[in-house]
Amino acid sequence: MKKGNPFGTHRVIEPAGVLPQPALKIDNTMEIYDNEILIDVQTLNVDSASFTQISDQAKGDVEEIKKIMKGIVAERGKHQNPVTGSGGMLIGTVKEIGPALEGKTNLKVGDKIATLVSLSLTPLVIEEILEVRKDIDQVDIKGQAILFESGIYAKIPTDLPENLALSVLDVAGAPAQTAKLVKPGDTVLVLGGAGKSGMLCLYEAKKRAGITGKVICLARSEKSLTDVKELGLADVYLTADASNAVEVYEKVMEVTNGELCDIVISCVSRENCEMSCILSCKDDGTVYFFSMATSFTKAALGAEGVGKDVNMIVGNGYTKNHAEISLQIMRESKPLRDLYTKLYAGN
């Protein structure tokens, strides 16, 4: 059996010298190296920015979505959207474990896991796409994938439905980062607060900011705010187009008495929302861009252009204990769990 690099560089075809995520093409042969894990894949949870782009390109046609996804994997050896650069994650069953991982992993053959690394770096083969669930960005497939030695994962919890766990774990970095960033008394704005990652961020922000804080939820329409309001996930609810920076800024100025926000979190899966976040943030405040639709060039140069001194955090999908923090929200809040199940864990 061939020896592999912990970071998976042995799978990179082009360009030479890069890691699997930025690579244009990787080897998706499903014969494992000595430090890899082979997974029989059940479901792909495509990240929101990527699925939105694919669905738009396909004009919502399911067969065209399947064709685009299979084309991406055929070309790249992984599901990395060439437009957004992002992927998603998967759920599947461990089929084989390389001998070099003996004693280094708590997994065994037959374990059901969710990978917590992006599909944009995961060697993948799609034999057949069985079902596309457009409303929750999930695709059931017949296929296999490889997890590298450095790849992180979570065993599927037995007390939560699989599709629910997968939907939560897909965005686990967002509420976990929120838990780290928000302090008692903070004013927090969540753009895209009525969405999959946004609702979890609101819940965590409300818990961390406490009774002296203020949590503001911004969504595109009143209709999308209905469920969030019923659950009381925020203190203030705003409707605005997140790509209209001046409109968002003026509304945030009004509800904060001109003080703006300590923490701004972007969960919007559309382009051109960077300046709404930056303008809404206090000087020395923090903007957390969780959305993979973010242009970090626009953010950096845009902040400079309006003279804003804000800390900007790249939306790293991993932070310590992110899986545990996010799944715990589902256990703590039955109303949120019920809503999440209805919206994002359909079968």
Q: Is the dihedral of CA 223, 165, 181, 316 positive or negative?
A: negative
Q: Tell me the CA end-to-end span of the chain in Å, nearest whole number.
A: 39
Task: Characterize the bridge pairing of strands 153-155 and 112-115.
Answer: antiparallel
Tokens of 221: 């329409």
Each of the 347 residues of the chain gets a pLDDT tens digit; together they read 899 999 999 999 999 999 999 999 999 999 999 999 999 999 999 988 899 999 999 999 999 999 999 999 999 999 999 999 999 999 999 999 999 998 889 999 999 999 999 999 999 999 999 999 998 889 999 999 999 999 999 999 989 888 888 889 888 999 999 999 999 999 999 999 999 899 999 999 999 999 999 999 999 999 889 999 999 999 999 999 999 999 999 999 999 999 999 999 999 988 899 999 999 999 999 999 998 778 889 999 999 999 999 999 987 777 888 999 999 999 999 999 999 888 887 65
Q: Which of 89, 91, 155 is nearest to 122 (CA)?
A: 89
Angle at 159 between CA 317 and CA 343, to 5 degrees: 60
CB-count burial class (<10 Å; 0-12, 13-18, 19+) for 88: buried
Q: Please, is 95 exposed, middle or buried when counting C-beta atoms within 10 Å of its C-beta (0-12, 13-18, 19+)?
A: middle
DSSP string across 148-172:
-TT--EEEPPTTS-HHHHHHHHHTT
Whether the CA torsion 319, 5, 118, 115 is positive or negative: it is: negative
Query: Can the peptide bond before residue 22 be classed as cis, meaning omega within 30 degrees of 0?
Result: no
Which residues lie below 8 Å from residue 214, measured CB to CB, with a gap of 6+? 186, 187, 188, 235, 236, 256
How far apart CA 134 and CA 101 sit, in angstroms, is 37
According to the model, what pLDDT value does residue 346 have? 61
pLDDT at 35: 97
Provide the β-strand partners of residue 43. 91, 140
Select from 331, 328, 247, 243 the least CA-distant residue to 293.
243
pLDDT value, residue 264: 98
Q: Which amino acid is at 174?
A: A
Which position has the token pair 């329409």?
221
Residue 156 to residue 89: CA distance in whole angstroms: 13
The pTM of the full predicted model, rounded to 2 decimals, is 0.82
Cα(200)–Cα(110) distance, integer angstroms: 30
Residue 66 and residue 142 in contact, taking contact as beta carbons nearer than 8 Å: no
Burial class of residue 158 (count of CB atoms within 10 Å of its CB; 0-12, 13-18, 19+): exposed
CA pair distance 188, 181, nearest whole angstrom: 10
Which of 47, 138, 153 is closest to 93 using CA atoms? Answer: 153
Cα–Cα distances in angstroms (integers) from residue 312 to residues 102, 227, 281, 282, 308, in the given order: 40, 30, 10, 12, 11
pLDDT of 170: 83
